Structure 1
Amino acid sequence: MALARLAELHGVATTFAPAKGVTVAVPDATVVAVLAALEIDASTPQAVRAALDRAEQAAAERLLPRTVVLWRGPDDSLAVPPHLAGLPAGTALRVTTESGDALTWTTPPSPGPTTAGRPRPDTRPEPPRGAPDRPGAAEEPEAAGGPETRWSRLPLGVHRLYAEAVDGRTADAALVVAPDEAPAPEGRAYGFLVQLYSLLSARSWGMGDLGDLAELATWSGRSLGASFVQVNPLHAGVPGAPSDPSPYRPSSRRFPDPVHLRIEDVPEYAYADPAARQRLEELREEAARLRESVLAKGALIDRDAVWELKREALEIIYRIPLGPGRRAAYDDFLAEQGRALEDHATWCALAEVHGSEWHGWPAGLRDPRSPETAAARSALKDGVDFHSRLVWLADEQLAAAGRAAREAGMAVGIVHDLAIGVHPGGSDAWAQQDAFAAGMSIGAPPDAFNAHGQDWGLPPLRPDALAASGFAPFRGLLRGILRNAGALRIDHVMGLFRLWWVPVGSPPTEGAYVRYDAEAMLAVLVLEAHRAGAVVIGEDLGTVEPGVRDALARRRVLGTSVLWFERDWDGDGLPLPPSRWREGCVATATTHDLPSTAARLTGGHVELRHRLGLLARPLEEERTEETADVTEWLGVLARLGLLPEGAGDEEGGIRAVYRFLLRTPARMVGIWLPDAVGDRRPQNLPGTWDQYPNWRLPVSDAEGRPMSLEELAASPRLHRLMAVFGARTAPPDARPS
């Protein structure tokens, strides 16, 4: 079928498997819509035939794939892949590196792979873009190592490759040269997992902030021997009242949200004049009342109220002149971030005037490169500078938190979280419109757990646009988040391989998988992680197609293993013994989307879902199944000698779960911070919106009483749990279990 062949050539799947042994066809209308989002007209049979002819002809004539990936091994060797080794003899090649250097050579009569070293580059001026040197032009002599060694001289980076065959065919491609593997954690690591907003200290302005993050890292590293603290995404949110509290639906993934700033830690705060100082003190008093309403009265975290106070304080601080050194540092930051920051700050300034949904702005302002936008940027220059300044201040405090973690002896440090996508009305979607697929939203197909599928309301990046740009949007956001990270968690890491695209207005059951160049995406990820010296963690829970986990492990991207899901699914279905867990993972008891361990052990999460009408079966059926599952796990823990307190001891059960995790070979063990004090409430309850206070709950004890950071640090219950980690931080020798 012509439509299916056309879809295949553009990475669009025409079937999917909701369950093992079951294949479902994607509706033709969905395939046509997805192709349209990739600017391929398949609206009529004639259009399909014409598009297919063009695509097949282009594939037949193509000298190079859209992206070429070269992996450099630990011995500095670099093997040439078959599609390069097989280029026609006499093909003229030119590589323009990231730094602007140029290398040129001609393919030999019998090209082959090489693992040779790197001679000097050709640094002569670059010819016009897209015009590689002709065969033999500007070549180095064979004494430099011969044409077959030219690939191996390439430095790490994302370069541009140009080719021209003797028959006149030309091509250019992104060329990614990456280390063979991402950095790995040193030895065995354990640390806390926490949603930063939920961790209030006595100095917070109503929600956890970057000062609290530094404090948590310092305390847990120095006093408890923790190696890391993992937080939720700290990406810039979409402004508005009420704002979306989810950290996984940001305006921008590249830049941090200034709502996380510790106001008193901004250096200029100390230099306020008396009138400004008085107003700042009044704002601090209002913030203290807001904080106490959460900690003492059990109110929900109110991000909008926090931002209202901080926004006014930051406007006051903004009017305090920067000293010469601070001004120079700020100017350097602006130059380093360039257009990306200018676009983000411009969107923020425009959103204050026209609202945060740019699709509804005046027509001229919907285009970030239009004359109207340029004029508005000039008219709003103070607002643009204000928002640029806030990003700089947040970056400084993120860097300070990272330093605090390292100085506390943390081997990994702060683990940042990269959301899977961005809000369709936010700054990234506005500034990078060519990179996003218009009229599409990502989600998940129907499966055994959710017959209706999911629509996350986030526009997908276009795989063709990524390749054409040398993966610039992906590289930019990675560099932005990795600059202050000891490790990076990637939400729904399977999105590097494929994403479920849903046409806007269609149900999520009528979507289609669109494939990405996973090798290139992984290469860019590993390259940027290498440059930052950061560990990479992939959230690979849920439906994972065959080969994905192996591909991630090959590049030393750690996976995520949650105790309750680790069963022998291909065998007897029993809990997986610790010796059979994978080493390359972060082992945890729960996540922000799952019940806490206390709620799991007591069955409290079933009761919660029943009260909210979320159960798909009668309550007693759900209770019976959950009780059986927990009883089975408790039996495993008891047989392993990990439950000396007995099955009826809830706190002892939590400790037993973490003893089990330490028995596994997992490189990293994550402790859900609310578990340490018996918190029963999930931070997010999927399937709810206003029925449950998602993303607005402070860390609380077993009775639901909010606890400050200071109370957590002094908690006897927390210290009893952490004694488990002090007793053993490495798994026992492998033995039957």
Structure 2
Amino acid sequence: MDPAEHATPSPALIDLARAYGVSPDHFGFHGESRTASTDTLTAVLAALGVDASTPERIDVALASVVDAPWRRMLPATLVLREGQAQKFPVHVTDGMPVEVWIELEGHGGRIDLEQIDLYTEPRTVDGRTIGRAMFEVPRTLPLGWHEVRAATPDGQSRATLAVTPVRLELPADLAGRQSWGLMAQLYSVRSRQSWGVGDFADLADLGWIGGKALGADFLLINPVAAAEPTTPMTPSPYLPVSRRFINPLYLRVEDIRETAYLSAADRSIVEWSAEGVRELSTDPGPIDRDASWDAKKAALQVVFEAPRSAARQTAFGDFRASQGRGLEDFATWCAFTEHFGGAAWPPALRDPAGDEVAALRVELAQQIDFHCWLQWVADVQLEQAQRSALEGGMAIGIMHDLAVGVHPEGSDAWALGSVLAHGIGVGAPPDMYNQQGQNWSQPPWHPEELARTGYAAYRDLLRTVLRHAGALRIDHVIGLFRLWWIPEGNGADEGVYVRYDHEALIGILCLEAHRAGAVVIGEDLGVFEPWVRDYLTDRGILGTSILWFEQESDGRPLAPEHYRALSLTTVTTHDLPPSAGYLAGEQVELRDRLGLLTEPVQLVRQQARRERDQMILALATRGLIDDDPSERELVEALHRYIKATPAVLLGVSLADAVGERRAQNQPGTDQQYPNWKVPLGDSSGNVVLIEDLLDNARLLSLAAVMNEDDLPA
């Protein structure tokens, strides 16, 4: 076959791809139309469990996808909005009677359904004549997780039914006013009592300071999801081994109650562990997570083995029971990872439900208990941090961040393997800031399997992350609509979009956030379809506006009054240098040094200077700066600019507030740059500790700007 011919997918392959939610073509960042190759479509369909390797198999798969709904008695899952009536089919042997009813959540009772007089011609599938009966979910169902059941003389079937809020509303104390908050990379914000890495005690202090002394209403932090239980630990908080569970690296050992009652010998072990890494908190060099975790883990083992009171032991047991099989699987994976070190696991252990796994669980029971306990004490400290932020006066408190996906060899990939697609990484196609595209090497949700399981893994994830959150930021929220799937071995630009049931995923997100009383923010940047933002707005999910990305059609800065009201608006983001560095064009020089540019560096420098000059002109036109502003005055003027927008939430990077210039992350790099290892520092790179914040003139001045009532006209 001609390679050029093979690169162009056949009409049948395109039809098959679309039937499974795979978009064979898309528009790039510059508006050009691009079509995926045959190899890419075939590989993505294979990850979905569809064999499209030959024209004959494509024809078989096309016939099968048409018959698939008729093979199920009930739809996999029903997700609808409150007050909405929804028809759904029930498939049974033609002519057989069927009884259909709804079991309401929490012993709420049973609602019997009547068949609707809506005839559909029977269909022969797999040699059986199947009839379709139509029923309707009544519009009076309450919010919650219910169950549809169907019974015939041949058997029963059940399906998950989720009734979700039409719209998330802002909390009453946020309505009608503009609120601002801090944004911080928690690992980088340390105190003199930290073990080399910012922790949950530091989080509690920062939340209290932010509310009490600075007037902030929220504190957005990086994802604190679990990393490897052994070193080396993946630095990126956006590549966790589990999105549901917590990284115990952030624990403050001394704040665990049992630490206070250790014997003298055991207390000495804890102190010796701390002494070796506490001094790292004042080290301006890259953060050493591995040294901190090795020391902290040794101390935590000592505290774990100390006696607990009956009340504390009961609380631990209750937590463990509430988190169910998910926690046990996560703790098992951690114990297995420690047991085998860096060696490959025996193939038999790849099945979490296998007999070999059950046997090794028994052998490693003590260490599994330890990892369950780590999650419990982390949960307690997160709860304390949220309480501290609220007691300090914050209206929202801690705003957690949910990463797009998980490590391909992590806990979730092992325990949730059936609802993840394998042989695929997710990322983003090329855009102006990442001209080669991005591959985040994370296995995506398998759309059909997720629905088949009633979205249980997704629901459990949201519930856990929202337990102690006043708000939740969803990284790359566009991924709940479609994700850029990249087959293994392909470049980041050789992917394809796979669509998800966004009505289900967004609806479930709204339901769990409503129950938690949390605000939801979607990071809706990059390449997306225009209607997506309108949809999110209709559901009450805030968007994300970054000053440098908001531009008029001619490239000039977007006027503040044209920003979205329902948004979290900020000057910068963690994927850019702080504002002082960005104004100096350091993002261009860094990408040039790292070989990430696809255009001549002089051209990119010129574009950056034009962007800066246009922004300074916009600030001057509005009277926000004088003729020769200092760096500090420019940064404050940028924040006055976003204060002039109608955005309900404004975010201030703590790095901006103290004068930091170094980027936390440079997308598209791995070892070339110390991503996620840069400690909080001032404009000279000197470490800024939590104890120093209230003496930091730049921080206090910027907080005063954010608390101003009146702005220049």
Residue 728 of structure 1 and its aligned partner are, at CA, apart by 2.1
Residue of structure 2 in register with 1:692 after alignment: 673
1:515 to 487, 499, 503: 499
TM-fit CA distance, 1:611:
3.5
Do the aligned partners of 2:285 and 2:679 also contact (CA within 8 Å) in 1?
no
Q: CA deviation at 1:647?
A: 4.2
**How many angstroms does 1:418 deviate by?**
0.3
Q: 1:421 to 1:135 in 2, by over 3 A?
A: closer
Q: 1:403 to 1:19 in 2, by over 3 A?
A: closer
Q: Which residue of 2 aligns with 1:152?
A: 139
Task: Give the corresponding residue for 1:243.
Answer: 233
Query: What is the aligned partner in structure 2 of residue 445 from structure 1?
Result: 429
Tell me, in whole angstroms, the C-alpha distance in 2 between the residues paired with 1:226 and 1:590: 17
The reply to whether residue 95 of structure 1 matches residue 105 of structure 2 is no
Q: How far apart are 1:262 and its partner, in Å?
A: 0.7
Change (3 A) 1:486 1:286: same
Query: 2:36 is aligned with what amino acid?
Result: V
Correspondent of 2:605 among 613, 623, 636 = 623
2:706 alignment partner in structure 1:
725
Which stretch has the larger CA shift, 474-483 or 241-250?
A: 241-250
Asked whether 1:79 is paired with 2:84, we answer: yes
- 1:371-386 map, 5 Å: 371-386=355-370
**Which residue, out of 541, 546, 560, partners 2:530?**
546
Q: Which amino acid aligns with 1:661?
A: I
Residue of structure 1 aligned with 2:291, choices 301, 305, 321: 305
Which of these residues, 630, 635, 638, is aligned with residue 654 of structure 1?
A: 635
Alpha-carbon separation, structure 2, partners of 1:661 and 1:59: 50
Relative to 1, partners in 2 of residues 1:661 and 1:169: Cα closer, same or farther, differing over 3 Å? farther
CA deviation after TM superposition for structure 1 residue 686, in Å: 1.3
State the match for 1:678 in structure 2. Answer: 659
Are residue 479 (structure 1) and residue 463 (structure 2) matched? yes
Structure 1 gap ranges (5+): 73-77, 112-133, 137-146
Residue in structure 2 matching 1:13, options 10, 23, 26: 23
List gaps (5 residues or longer) in structure 2: 1-10, 120-131
Paired residue type of 1:702: S
Aligned residue for 1:328?
314
Q: What letter is aligned with 1:671?
A: V
Residue in 1 that maps onto 2:221: 231
Q: CA deviation at 1:378?
A: 0.3
Letter of the 1:469 counterpart: T
Asked if residue 596 in structure 1 is aligned to residue 578 in structure 2, the reply is: yes
Give the whole-Å Cα distance in 2 for the aligned partners of 1:261 and 1:170: 47
1:107 to 101, 115, 120: 115
CA drift of 1:667 comes to 0.7
The CA distance in 2 between the partners of 1:486 and 1:102, in whole Å, is 34
Q: Decide which moves more: 244-253 or 51-60.
A: 51-60
Q: Where do residues 403-418 of structure 1 align in structure 2 (5 Å cutoff)?
A: 403-418=387-402
Q: Residues 351-500 of structure 1: matches in 2 within 5 Å? A: 351-355=337-341, 360-447=344-431, 450-500=434-484
Deviation track 1:254-308 (CA, whole Å, cap 9, x = no partner) reads 000100001110000000001111222222222322223x1xxx22210000001
Residue 97 of structure 1: how far off its partner (Å)? 3.3
Alpha-carbon distance in structure 1 between the residues aligned to 2:79 and 2:501? 10
Measured in 2, the distance between the counterparts of 1:512 and 1:610 equals 28
With over 3 angstroms needed to count, the CA separation of the structure-2 counterparts of 1:213 and 1:527, relative to structure 1, is: same
CA shift digits 1:48-71 (9 cap, x unpaired)? 111211212335788865443321
Is 1:91–1:107's contact at 8 Å kept on the other side of the alignment?
A: no
Quote the Cα distance in structure 1 between the aligned partners of 2:265 and 2:412: 38
- Give the partner amino acid of 2:293: W
Change (3 A) 1:307 1:665: same
TM, length-normalised to structure 2? 0.91
SS for the counterpart of 1:592 is coil
Is the alpha carbon distance of 1:308 and 1:159 closer, same or farther for their aligned partners in structure 2, counting shifts above 3 Å?
same
The residue aligned with 2:559 is 577
Residue among 28, 49, 54 paired with 2:59? 49
Give the equivalent residue in structure 2 for 1:29.
39
CA distance in 1, matches of 2:509, 2:19: 25
1:565 to 539, 549, 562: 549
Distance, in Å, in 1 between the alignment partners of 2:54 and 2:308 is: 61
* Separation of aligned partners in 2, 1:613 and 1:40: 38
Aligned counterpart, 2:162? 176
User: CA RMSD of the aligned region, Å?
Assistant: 2.7
Tell me what 1:289 maps to: 279
5 Å-filtered alignment, 1:634-653, equals 634-644=616-626, 646-653=627-634
After TM superposition, give the deviation of residue 574 of structure 1 in Å: 2.2
Q: Which residue matches 1:319?
A: 305
Which secondary structure state, in structure 2, belongs to the residue aligned with residue 510 of structure 1?
coil
Q: Structure 1 residues 369, 91: CA separation in 2 closer, same or farther (over 3 Å shift)?
A: closer
Q: What is the letter of the counterpart of residue 225 of structure 2?
A: H
Instruction: Note if contact 2:253-2:300 (Cα within 8 Å) is conserved in structure 1.
Output: yes
Q: Per-residue displacement from partner, 1:178-219 (whole Å, max 9, x unpaired)? A: 111124251321010000000011111101000000001111
**Cα pair 2:404 2:475 within 8 Å, conserved:** yes
- 1:203 paired to 2:193: yes
CA distance in 1, matches of 2:89, 2:72: 12
> Displacement of 1:20 after TM fit?
5.1
Distance 1:60 1:135 in 2: 11
Instruction: Report the CA distance between 1:604 and its aligned residue.
Output: 3.0
Letter in 1 for 2:303: I
Distance in 2 of aligned mates of 1:450 and 1:686: 7
Q: 1:451/1:592 Cα in 2 relative to 1: closer, same or farther (>3 Å)?
A: closer
Q: In structure 2, do the counterparts of structure 1 residues 396 and 661 end up closer, same or farther at CA, with 3 Å as the change threshold?
A: same
Conserved in 1, the CA contact under 8 Å of 2:243 and 2:406?
Answer: yes
Aligned residue for 2:3? none
Could you tell me which residue of structure 2 aligns to residue 341 of structure 1? 327
Q: Distance in 2 between matches of 1:632 and 1:135?
A: 63
Structure 1: distance between partners of 2:113 and 2:508? 25
Report the CA distance shift for 1:724/1:482 in structure 2 as closer, same or farther (over 3 A).
same
CA deviations over 1:354-409 (Å, ceiling 9, x no partner): 1368xx31011111111110010000000000011001000000000011111112
| Distance in 2, Cα, partners of 1:196 & 1:449 | 25
TM-score when normalising by structure 1: 0.88
Q: Deviations over 1:598-650 (max 9, x none)?
A: 01222233333333343444443333221221111111111111224x44311
2:101 counterpart SS class: strand
Opposite residue 574 of structure 1, the aligned amino acid is R
Q: Distance in 1 between matches of 2:514 and 2:662?
A: 37
* Alpha-carbon displacement from aligned partner over 1:635-678 (angstroms, at most 9, x marks no partner): 1111111224x443110000000101110000100000010111
How many Å separate the matches in 1 of 2:67 and 2:260?
67
With over 3 angstroms needed to count, the CA separation of the structure-2 counterparts of 1:92 and 1:447, relative to structure 1, is farther
Preserved CA contact (<8 Å) 2:471 2:520: yes
Identity among equivalent positions (%) equals: 45
Contact 1:245/1:696 (8 A) holds in 2: yes
Q: How does 1:113-124 map to 2 (within 5 A)?
A: none
Aligned to 2:587: 605
Checking the alignment, whether the CA contact within 8 Å between 1:94 and 1:163 is kept in structure 2 is yes
How far off its partner does 1:99 sit?
Answer: 2.9
Deviates more, 1:37-46 or 1:15-24: 15-24
